Amino acid sequence: MIIDASQLRKGNIFKMNNELFMVVSFQHLTPGNWRAMMQTKNKNLRTGSIAENRFRAHDKVEVIDLEHKTMEYLYQSDEEYHFMDTQSYEQVVLTEKDLGDAMLYMVQNSQCQIQYYENKPIGIILPITVDLKVEYTEPGIKGNTVSGATKIAKMETGLEIQVPLFINQDEVLRIDTRTGEYIERM
């Protein structure tokens, strides 16, 4: 689908120079006497590199609709992650490069959406929240803070997040995958 560059939003995937890019952030600029433009920060879905682009507001961009399949994360071997289609039982392998830091939110047997472009898996969409177990955190010391104090907790997947002082080891926490922040104790 072809749209004006001024309609690009975070999360849109578009094709430029035979490469797929995902919009990481965007800003609509209208400097002085110049014409309006869109400045976007884009992630190349093949290489994982981040680049900035400027488009005139009326430039045309080809936005791509990707196919999504619900998959179950099975296991990791070296730098490969194995997923299984929950309906056809077909297995798919994605690499660390394909997934980025998304695997910090995935535990075995959890479900996610795998993105496909031209019948080839290219990425993953995480659920908005995940429940992870605290593998290690320092004990909170009561009385040496004013309010809202936090400490670092290492989760079972290796993810490190800031949590309130009352969180202890082996507790299960709900985490927002979009921001990587603690939401609540389960």
At 7 the pLDDT is 86
Per-residue pLDDT of 137-150, as tens digits, reads: 988 776 656 667 88
Q: In what order do the strands lie in the sheet with 37-44?
A: 2-4, 60-63, 13-16, 19-29, 37-44, 50-56
User: Is pLDDT of 126 > 80?
Assistant: yes
Residue 91's pLDDT is 93
The string of pLDDT tens digits covering residues 24-72 is 888 888 877 788 888 999 988 877 788 999 998 888 999 988 899 999 9
Are both 8 and 25 inside the same structural domain? Answer: yes
- Give the span between the Cα atoms of 42 and 12, in whole angstroms: 10
**Confidence (pLDDT) at 183:** 92
- Contact (Cβ atoms closer than 8 angstroms) between residue 175 and residue 182: yes
Number of domains in the chain: 3
Q: Model pTM?
A: 0.71
Q: Are 136 and 165 within one domain?
A: yes
Average pLDDT, the chain: 87
117 and 78 housed in the same domain: yes
| Whether residue 6 sits in one domain with residue 59 | yes
Same domain, 74 and 48: no
CATH of the domain at 93: 2.40.50.140
Which of 100, 125, 150 lies at the terminal end of a domain, its last residue? 125
What residues form DSSP beta bridges with 30? none
Q: Decide if pLDDT at 181 tops 70.
A: yes
Residue-range definition of the domain harbouring residue 148? 129-185
Q: Read off the CATH number of the domain in which 49 is found.
A: 2.30.30.30
Considering the domain architecture, whether residues 36 and 8 belong to the same structural domain is answered as yes
Confidence (pLDDT) at 146: 63
Whether residue 119 is found in the same domain as residue 144? no
Question: Are residues 139 and 164 located together in one domain of the fold?
Answer: yes
Query: Quick one: what percent of the chain has pLDDT higher than 90?
Result: 36
In the beta sheet, which residues pair with residue 46? Answer: none
Same domain, 149 and 114: no
pLDDT of residue 8: 85
Tell me which of 63, 86, 115 is where a domain ends: 63
Among the candidates 63, 91, 110, a domain finishes at 63
pLDDT of 90 over the 70 cut = yes
| Whole-angstrom distance, CA of residue 135 vs CA of residue 163 | 13
Asked if 153 and 113 sit in the same domain, the reply is: no
Per-residue pLDDT, 102: 84
Classify burial at 108, counting beta carbons within 10 Å of its beta carbon; exposed 0-12, middle 13-18, buried 19 or more: exposed
